[in-house]
Amino acid sequence: PQALARLGTSSINVFVVVVVSCCTEQLSGYCVFVLQKDSAQAVTIAVSSRAIFDLEEEHELFLAEGMGNYTSHQIAHENEPLAEGTALPFIRVSAPKAMVNEKLLENNPEEKQLFDIILVSNNNAQSGLRIINSIKHYGLHITRFCFLNGIDPSKYLQSYNVKLFLSANESAVCSALKRGIPAALVIQQDVQTAAEQLRVVFDGDCVLFSDESENVYREKGLDEVIKYEKDREHIPIGEGPLKAFAMILGNMKKKFPREKDPICTYLLTSRSGRDMGVRAIKTLRDWGLEVDQAFFLDGAPKDPILAQIRPHIFFDDSTHHIRGALASGTPAGYIPPCDKS
């Protein structure tokens, strides 16, 4: 309770403090959510510790030797900060007190639509101390932690209105996606990103858009999907798993004149512009979603363009394009097929 009181008063916002007992059987799992009063407007991003830090060696130890050894290792190395993980650059610009929120507040001191970050971790409170120390080491203003000790986080993500979930655990990502929460899998990789703006790249089909056209393509081939798209040019494509998050970024962008915009968004799709571009563009227009740049690659590789953009995160559902992103040092968020065939 004392720690909670400190959390609550150290911030300028008025907080509602909610302690959720996540522990059904395991007593060491706990979850402290300090909710902003305006949690509906806050853009809450949940990240796992393996998404923002390089915990690969430690994860191997956990898999091989179990939680006990892992915990002892983390306690022994408590004061050694962890190396950067794949999603760290993205969180670094979107965390509270970081660039995008600062720009939003400069633009409007009353702004409520601000990024907020929750760290959702499979650690227990003991092993979690190294994570907390690493967060401080990188100067991240993440104050909300949830040490779940192996419990599936997805139902908490939903109750707390999480707008994006990034995790290194595929089953946790899938269970979030099944609940309709935008989510992606991040794999530990070396990354290079541009500094001055938050840059986010979205693939089209199965990411911004539903899998409708992709399924036609898979089942019937290219000629049929081109015909299918032509016949439905005036009907928007269904919504994909990351659409809601893209809409939030689109909304934030509308608050700035173009030259001062702290966020840059991109559509990078394998669709051909000539044969399958029209319906995609009309769909974005129907949604009121503007992207800064759209690339229709007609099957060409994405990594040369990603290497130019240097985004903070690139979302795609194709393992082929994700591999290209890894090779070009682009932080990648993979949208797994989950239980779809």
- What is the smallest separation between the CB atom of 68 and ligand NAG, expressed in angstroms? 5
Active-site option among 54, 116, 203, 317: 203
| Dihedral angle over CA of 300, 303, 308, 310, nearest 10 | 140
Segment 301 to 340, residues that bind ligand NAG, using CB under 6 A = none
- What is the smallest separation between the CB atom of 224 and ligand NAG, expressed in angstroms? 37
Q: Applying CB under 6 A, what is the total number of residues that bind ligand NAG?
A: 10
Any contact of residue 76 with ligand NAG (CB under 6 A)?
A: no
Tell me if 328 sits within 8 A of 290, measured CB to CB: no
The maximal CA–CA distance of the chain, rounded, in angstroms, is: 65
- What is the smallest separation between the CB atom of 70 and ligand NAG, expressed in angstroms? 9
Q: Given the structure tokens 């539903």, which residue do they identify?
A: 210
Which CB sits closer to ligand NAG, 57 or 223? 57
- What is the smallest separation between the CB atom of 202 and ligand NAG, expressed in angstroms? 25
Tell me if 124 sits within 8 A of 150, measured CB to CB: no
Any contact of residue 68 with ligand NAG (CB under 6 A)?
A: yes
Any contact of residue 169 with ligand NAG (CB under 6 A)?
A: yes
Any contact of residue 60 with ligand NAG (CB under 6 A)?
A: no
Any contact of residue 124 with ligand NAG (CB under 6 A)?
A: no
Which CB sits closer to ligand NAG, 48 or 318? 48
Of 41, 79, 171, 192, the residue at the interface with ligand NAG (CB under 6 A) is 171
Give the torsion sign (CA, 308, 311, 314, 320): positive
Of 139, 150, 180, 337, the residue at the interface with ligand NAG (CB under 6 A) is 150
- What is the smallest separation between the CB atom of 109 and ligand NAG, expressed in angstroms? 39
Give the separation between CA 157 and CA 81, rounded to whole angstroms: 27
Q: How do strand 115-121 and strand 15-20 relate by DSSP bridges?
A: unpaired
Tell me if 310 sits within 8 A of 193, measured CB to CB: yes
Any contact of residue 175 with ligand NAG (CB under 6 A)?
A: yes
Phi, psi torsion values for 95, nearest 5 degrees: -70, 160
Closest to 149 (Cα-Cα) out of 134, 177, 118, 128 = 128
Tell me if 203 sits within 8 A of 316, measured CB to CB: yes
Q: Given the structure tokens 């559902």, which residue do they identify?
A: 317
Any contact of residue 24 with ligand NAG (CB under 6 A)?
A: no
Cβ-Cβ contacts under 8 Å for 249 (sequence gap 6 or more): 200, 263, 265
62-70, 189-197, 278-286, 297-305 -> range binding ligand NAG (CB under 6 A): 62-70
Active-site annotation holds for 203: yes
- Overall size of the chain counted in residues: 341
Q: Which residues bind ligand NAG (CB under 6 A)?
A: 65, 68-69, 122, 150, 152, 169, 171-172, 175
Q: What amino acid positions are annotated as catalytic residues? A: 203
